[in-house]
Amino acid sequence: MLLVNEYMSTKTDVVIIGGGPAGLAAGIYTSRLGLETILIEKTALGGQVAVSPFIENYPGFTMISGAELSKRFIEHAELMGVEFRVPEEVIKLELSSETKIVKTNKDTYEADAVIIASGASRKKLNVPGEKEFAGKGVSYCAVCDGSFFRGKVVAVVGGGNTAVSEALHLTGLVKKLYVIHRRDDFRAEIALKQRLLDSPNVTQLWNTVVERIEGDTTVRRLVLRDLKNNKQYEIEVDGVFIAIGYTPNSKIAADAGVAVDKEGYIIVDKRQETNIKGVYAAGDVTGGIMQIGVAVGEGIVAAMSAFEHVTGGWYAKKKKLKAVRIDFEKFKEKEEHEKREEEKSLFKFKL
């Protein structure tokens, strides 16, 4: 993988901010179309999909782990020639002129177009004890931290697809699982919901909210309130996983003049273009239906729109495009090597 540390030219055709499905899909298209593409990601490529325990609704895969799907996205983008800058954080955007300026904690880039695919972050409960016990029993990722609670009692807070998926991952690890939801039914997909409801070690606490997280050196109990009878009570737990929604990562874009709605999601038109010409947005940062397939589609639309902006369209002569040379033999060798390593691991496991 091309993870550049010694930076060369800071001038490029397109800068993509964010390395999740929307950003990677956009990069695959812009690079394949002949645009020089730099993708900046502040943490790790793959986005939140990379830590999803399993995915059953992405076309072409009846079931695939988030880590594997992310790996395939990244390899595809790499094969097309996307230049990754990881880890690197965007700290300021200057978008008012024709040439867009992207400033990071390591470099400054000039681009003809910018695609913002910075995603969204998990919301906090903002209750006493949450901040104090972060990393000490309070978690926002079951895939990341679930194994620490093997054989213990934990709770998941939330009722959407994310919360139910996190809970399903935990059912095979923990002794007992509480799922706390402020409504009287899950908002998750029926298939996921039914699987969770059928799990023998799960107890649903409907119409309930968390008021406090308590403990000593780690989480020991949750103070809850039943919204129907307004009674407060406690449950003893070893940990709590919070999955109550997302906040868009749009502040830097908004500070640069990109229009956002009242919740902070970036406003785009049908071409994924923002209120600033040459600036596009895709994926969870634009709100709406937060699904991998939607993010990928929006990333592709943003890429095609950026291509038209930079080049003037297929028949224009505004810009000479670079030739895309794909080393399929090298990619095939890499796949065969990984397959051999996997077979070795399986052989050792059987022994």
Report the catalytic residues. Answer: 141, 144-145
Give me the sign of the Cα torsion angle 288, 289, 290, 295. negative
- Collapsed DSSP state (helix, strand, coil) of residue 100: strand
Query: Cβ distance 94 to 255 under 8 Å?
Result: no
Supply φ then ψ for residue 305, to 5 degrees. Answer: -65, -40
Strand segments, DSSP code E, in the chain are: 11-17, 37-40, 83-85, 90-94, 100-104, 108-116, 120-122, 138-139, 153-157, 176-180, 202-205, 208-215, 219-226, 232-236, 239-242, 246-248, 279-281
Dist CA 96 CA 90 (whole Å): 17
Residues whose CB is less than 8 angstroms from the CB of residue 261 and which lie 6 or more positions away in sequence, other chains included:
267, 287
Query: Cβ distance 128 to 117 under 8 Å?
Result: no
Q: State the Cα angle at 340 between 336 and 344, rounded to 5°.
A: 170
- Ordered strands of the 219-226 beta sheet: 208-215, 219-226, 232-236
Supply φ then ψ for residue 62, to 5 degrees. Answer: -65, -35
Q: Which of 104, 105, 84 is nearest to 94 (CA)?
A: 104
